[in-house]
Amino acid sequence: MRQIVLDTETTGLDPRHGHRIIEVACIEMENRRLTGHHLHKYINPEREIDEGAQAVHGITLEFLADKPKFADVIDEFLDFINGAELIIHNAPFDLGFLNAELARLDRVPVETLCNGVTDTLKMARDLHPGKRNSLDALCERYEIDNSQRTLHGALLDTELLSEVFLAMTRGQNSLMIEPDATPRSTSAGSARQTERKPLLVRRPSAEELAEHQRVLAAIDKETKGGCLWLAGG
């Protein structure tokens, strides 16, 4: 099975307000293995980048000034994802932006070209109800090194998401039971009790708390006071 792990970065939160894609990254998996093939493009959005969005990804309009427009990369992008299952964290967000870009160019929606879409955020919420299920939280939960992720970036995020996806779905292959397998007998003397490791709770530093509040404030400004995390204290 061919799967494409996909992520985008954008000028803002809502394509209905004219916001555009400024970065798209796709990495390929075949039969749950990374192939080494990827597509990564920075895109000139032909508009300003909202302050709140720039605080998240750090991409400036000056950096994008000489980059191609979406119309220049669309055929290469569609060829790369054609026929594959897409794996996206918070899929409605990325699909909304991609389909808005395609509509501008009179192209069909992404879903008509792909073999289904898996939303890893929905999957994580089903697996871990009531828990934080951001990409960073999932990396911590599945012990995936995300120390290089100081800002959001589409290519790094797809690499991390591929590892998270494989970790979340690893049990699918381990549920197979050989038909001739016989259960092992154990005695009270040979049974071993598994010791639980103590739960490690890491407190954020003052610098991390300040950065967290800065990002929340930027989101709150972008959404005109709609940041629930900031409102909740």
Instruction: Spot the catalytic one: 40, 57, 152, 212.
Output: 152
The pLDDT value recorded for residue 152 is 80
pTM above 0.85, yes or no: no
Most confident of 60-64, 177-181, 204-208: 60-64
> Last residue of some domain: 170, 189, 221?
170
Considering the domain boundaries, does residue 181 fall inside one? no
The pLDDT value recorded for residue 223 is 58
The pLDDT value recorded for residue 203 is 63
Considering the domain boundaries, does residue 123 fall inside one? yes
Domain match, 53 and 134 both: yes
Based on the residue annotation, tell me whether 152 is a catalytic residue of this protein: yes
| Structural domain count, the chain | 2
Considering the domain boundaries, does residue 220 fall inside one? yes
Does residue 105 surpass a pLDDT of 50?
A: yes
Q: What is the pLDDT of residues 24-79, one digit of tens each?
A: 999 999 999 999 999 999 999 999 999 999 999 999 999 999 999 999 999 999 99
Q: What is the pLDDT of residues 7-23, one digit of tens each?
A: 999 999 999 999 999 99
Average pLDDT over every residue of 152-168: 94
Q: Is the dihedral of CA 218, 219, 222, 227 positive or negative?
A: negative
Residue 217: enclosing H or E segment and its boundaries? helix 206-222
Average pLDDT over every residue of 113-137: 96
Token pair of 91 as six digits: 């899929």
